[in-house]
Structure 1
Amino acid sequence: MPRLATPDLYRVVAGALVLLGLALGGAALATVHHRASLTRDITAVSGPLSVGAQDLYRSLSDADATAATAFLTSGAEPAGLRQRYLDDIARAGAALTAAARDADDADAARLAILTDRLPVYTGLVETARSYNRLGVPLGGAYLREASALMRQTLLPQAEGLFVSAQERLRDAQRDASGSTWPVLALGVLTVGGLLAAQVLVARRTKRDFNVGLVAASLVALILLVWSSAALGTAAGRVEVGRTQGSSLVDLLADARRLALQARADESLTLVARGGGAAFEKDYREVMDRLTAMLDRAAAEAPESDQAVIRAAREQAGRFDELHGGVRALDDKGDYLGAVAKATGAGPADPPAVFADLDSAVGTALAAANQRVDHQAGHGGGALTGLEIALLLLTAGLVAAVVLGFRPRIGEYR
């Protein structure tokens, strides 16, 4: 095979370096654009979807627990409990409307069921209230039917929305914190090619340096280091948001769900008036899972969140102790005493202790959600302006290669 003449060899090498430079710039630009888009999705779409799904589930579950507690008072229910129930239903309706904006087909089907069945649930609750005010025992049956609808239909659909939102969030976080090996590989290859080209030109021209190729090497090195550092920083931030944010959200959202279910179980056991063994059994299972989940959350949470999670764990234990007192009264036949204890308004009564438990879990959950958003925002900030810079650097690299070889090729004309 005949050897290429020097000018032809220069043209081939220059063309190869231009292609490598364009490939490096294109790969870096595409990666940065994709990662920036993912961080924006986390902060503007998938993150808020997860928070909205949490709010929806919490509102529905709290409405069910509040309705059961209010029912125990018989006759005129406390205005505070009534307003809390109405607020929960209103927040659930608002959350359904918000979720519909970014719902896929599966989520749209879940939302359709929730939208269709929520009025049925509220209708059953209102019927139970009407009978309860009249002192008719049938009200308890309607309330249990309403709670069954909530637990068997509405809450599973709301949980499905949360799981779907969390999967979308985790997918975005996983992609945004993935490897950038194509950029690194092309960067090393381009810098290596430029160094080899300088050696080739130096040997053929007897000159130590080619200003154009030296400039191209510096530009390629800057492009490689800057893009790698920015992408690495963004990936690290998003990964922190995943490990210390969304993973903790999974645990805390489940803990809040279990706490609300335990509260409803306690009230429904009393509403059943001797026929609530199934609710009491569910309460016991739920509380065991709740305490285990809070222990796990405290172990996995960052140090800044551990105190509030431990406080929630203590309140859960305190609520369980008070529940034991309620059951002791009911089991020995003092139903009115059990109801009075379960619905007491004092700071050491079950409602106040549960409020402290729910507040502590809510505080930790808000901090975890905020961490997801902030870390994604910081990650996106690391990429700000990089797309324009990459375009300029790629153009500069190509121009430097052309300027480096053009005079040398011209010497052979």
Structure 2
Amino acid sequence: MDEEAATDGPRRLHIFTPLVEAPKRFARFISTTPGLLSVVSVILVAAILAAGGAMAASSGDRQDELSTMVNRSEPVSFSAQELYNSLSVADAVATTGFLTDPSRTADTRDPYRRALDTASRAVVRASNGIDDPSSREMSLILEIQEKLPSYVSLVTEAGANNRQGFPLGAAYITQASSMMQEELLPAAAELYDRTSSSVVAQQHRLTRPSWFALSGLLAAVLMLIVAQFWLAAWSNRRISVGYATATVLMSVALVWAGVSSLSTWHEGPRGVTGTSLPLQTLTSLRIEVQQARSTEVLGLVQRDYTSDNQNSFSDRVASIDAQLEQLRGAADGQDGRTRIDEAREALRTWDSAHAQMVSMVRQGDYSAAVRATVGDDDNGVSESFTALDNDLESLIGNSREQLRDYLADAGAAASRVNLLVLVLSLLSILCVIQGTRPRLQEYL
């Protein structure tokens, strides 16, 4: 009797019994119509949340990358470009000043001091934007910081000797210019190439469509279509208004995000070509102009303007003109083309004045050649070079503004897509719940 009573008593529950029984209870739950409707509704809500969340995350990542470009990568690249330009300007001013007024050293000239101050500030800003202290970019910055004082010292020695009438000044200024052309400027050029290439690479990455997020939106739309036809067949009713509305809303989100991504994919490379690449080209052109000016003046300092110097100058002028012509063909607005035309006209005037200066040197009229090179004649060498340099500086500034405007517009577009997809996803979830609720109420 005791054994039988023990057997018929309440069964003891094991600690894992709820876990073992859960699948069975869930299977019994979904075997009922309310249970199946609830599960389908939960799956649809989860799919919409996942699709909207994936698109929002993708848009958020895109906005973060754009913010990084605007606030970090592009300023570092601009600082490198500013460093590159200011070093070249300092060298051109130092060599030119060596001829204009022997009684003054280069460090007493405002353009020279401004160029060095700009270079020093640009070095600091560029170094602040580099995270990895062991990177090649940081090594280049340290190299420039180490060699720039030596260059300044050589220029100062050249001016001191020239002021006292010692011919050794020409050797010092030649050595200083060689150091700038062969060591400092190549380091600055590599730094600029690396930082600007990083900006271009980031732009190209941002032009790629978010295929994963788009596939999530497409899957959600397909699931909604299948679910509403299943619900109509299961309940022998017309199509649910809630499910149909959710399908329309998610389709709008899919089309909006898809068109935006495809537009970015198609127009993005053109935006890169129209902003970053012209800025790189213009920067290189300005440096080439400054180097040509330094070479021109050094030929007079050394009192030996050889055929090699003339050929080098002519080749540079031809290269600059060809690149300006390419930029003009790719320019969008009339204002940009007009400025490029003005730069090309200044280049031609400079080339003509330079040819006259070389003719004076070869005729032995050195004083006239110096006056033609550093004088203030409107069509002279100095004024033509200054006009060309100002035009290039203006074009560089406009290109940078276009680049930053392009990045800002891309960030605003990503923000709009993100907001729209989130709103439509939340509305779709409410529509799914509203579409399921009347069917569940029929069984309550």
Q: Same fold (TM over 0.5)?
A: yes
* 170-179 vs 273-282, which moves further: 273-282
Check the 8 A contact 2:77/2:126 in 1, yes or no. Answer: no
Q: Residues 252, 343 of structure 1: CA spacing in aligned structure 2 closer, same or farther, 3 A cutoff?
A: same
Matched with 1:288 is 318
Matched with 2:369 is 338
Q: How does 1:12-411 map to 2 (within 5 A)?
A: 13-77=40-104, 82-103=109-130, 104=132, 105-229=135-259, 231=261, 239=269, 241-274=271-304, 278-304=308-334, 305-384=336-415, 387=418, 390-405=421-436, 408=439
Equivalent position amino acid for 1:141 in 2: A
Equivalent position amino acid for 2:162 in 1: N
Matched residue SS, 1:330:
helix
Cα distance, 1:288 vs structure 2: 2.1
* 48-57 vs 275-284, which moves further: 275-284
Q: Which has the larger radius of gyration?
A: 2
Post-superposition Cα deviations, 1:73-92, rounded to whole Å, max 9, x if no partner, equal 25224999921111111110
Cα distance, 1:339 vs structure 2: 0.9
Check the 8 A contact 1:39/1:380 in 2, yes or no. Answer: yes
Post-superposition Cα deviations, 1:272-326, rounded to whole Å, max 9, x if no partner, equal 1126555444323322211111111111221331110111111111101111011
In structure 2, C-alpha distance between the alignment counterparts of 1:278 and 1:102, rounded to whole Å? 41
Check the 8 A contact 1:253/1:365 in 2, yes or no. Answer: yes
Post-superposition Cα deviations, 1:165-210, rounded to whole Å, max 9, x if no partner, equal 2112112211222123333332222212211211111111111132
Cα distance, 1:241 vs structure 2: 3.8
Matched with 2:19 is none
Q: Runs of 5+ in structure 2 lacking a partner?
A: 1-29
Post-superposition Cα deviations, 1:320-340, rounded to whole Å, max 9, x if no partner, equal 111101101101211111111
* 243-252 vs 117-126, which moves further: 243-252
Cα distance, 1:411 vs structure 2: 5.2
Check the 8 A contact 1:202/1:210 in 2, yes or no. Answer: yes
Cα distance, 1:270 vs structure 2: 0.8
Give the % identical residues.
29
In structure 2, C-alpha distance between the alignment counterparts of 1:49 and 1:350, rounded to whole Å? 34
Check the 8 A contact 1:50/1:166 in 2, yes or no. Answer: yes
In structure 2, C-alpha distance between the alignment counterparts of 1:259 and 1:336, rounded to whole Å? 24
Matched residue SS, 1:207:
coil
In structure 2, C-alpha distance between the alignment counterparts of 1:163 and 1:101, rounded to whole Å? 18
Cα distance, 1:232 vs structure 2: 5.6
In structure 2, C-alpha distance between the alignment counterparts of 1:124 and 1:131, rounded to whole Å? 11
In structure 1, C-alpha distance between the alignment counterparts of 2:311 and 2:177, rounded to whole Å? 16
Check the 8 A contact 1:322/1:350 in 2, yes or no. Answer: yes
Cα distance, 1:264 vs structure 2: 0.8
In structure 1, C-alpha distance between the alignment counterparts of 2:259 and 2:408, rounded to whole Å? 17
Q: Provide the TM-score with structure 1 as the length reference.
A: 0.91
Check the 8 A contact 1:70/1:81 in 2, yes or no. Answer: no
Matched residue SS, 2:415:
coil
Q: Residues 373, 306 of structure 1: CA spacing in aligned structure 2 closer, same or farther, 3 A cutoff?
A: same
Check the 8 A contact 1:345/1:351 in 2, yes or no. Answer: yes
Q: CA RMSD in A?
A: 2.7
In structure 2, C-alpha distance between the alignment counterparts of 1:189 and 1:182, rounded to whole Å? 11
Equivalent position amino acid for 2:289 in 1: A
In structure 2, C-alpha distance between the alignment counterparts of 1:99 and 1:70, rounded to whole Å? 29
Matched residue SS, 1:209:
coil
Aligned length: 411
In structure 1, C-alpha distance between the alignment counterparts of 2:430 and 2:32, rounded to whole Å? 21
In structure 2, C-alpha distance between the alignment counterparts of 1:341 and 1:6, rounded to whole Å? 99
Cα distance, 1:373 vs structure 2: 0.5
In structure 1, C-alpha distance between the alignment counterparts of 2:111 and 2:156, rounded to whole Å? 15
Post-superposition Cα deviations, 1:139-173, rounded to whole Å, max 9, x if no partner, equal 11111110111011111111112111211211221
Check the 8 A contact 1:312/1:361 in 2, yes or no. Answer: yes
Equivalent position amino acid for 1:325 in 2: Q
Check the 8 A contact 2:106/2:155 in 1, yes or no. Answer: no
* 357-366 vs 110-119, which moves further: 357-366
In structure 2, C-alpha distance between the alignment counterparts of 1:229 and 1:101, rounded to whole Å? 38
Q: Residues 239, 44 of structure 1: CA spacing in aligned structure 2 closer, same or farther, 3 A cutoff?
A: farther
Q: Provide the TM-score with structure 2 as the length reference.
A: 0.85
Cα distance, 1:393 vs structure 2: 4.0
* 374-383 vs 401-410, which moves further: 401-410
Matched residue SS, 1:383:
helix
Equivalent position amino acid for 1:254 in 2: S
Cα distance, 1:399 vs structure 2: 4.5
In structure 2, C-alpha distance between the alignment counterparts of 1:231 and 1:379, rounded to whole Å? 11
In structure 2, C-alpha distance between the alignment counterparts of 1:231 and 1:43, rounded to whole Å? 20
Cα distance, 1:120 vs structure 2: 0.4
In structure 1, C-alpha distance between the alignment counterparts of 2:404 and 2:367, rounded to whole Å? 48
In structure 1, C-alpha distance between the alignment counterparts of 2:111 and 2:267, rounded to whole Å? 38
Q: Runs of 5+ in structure 1 lacking a partner?
A: none
* 319-328 vs 101-110, which moves further: 101-110
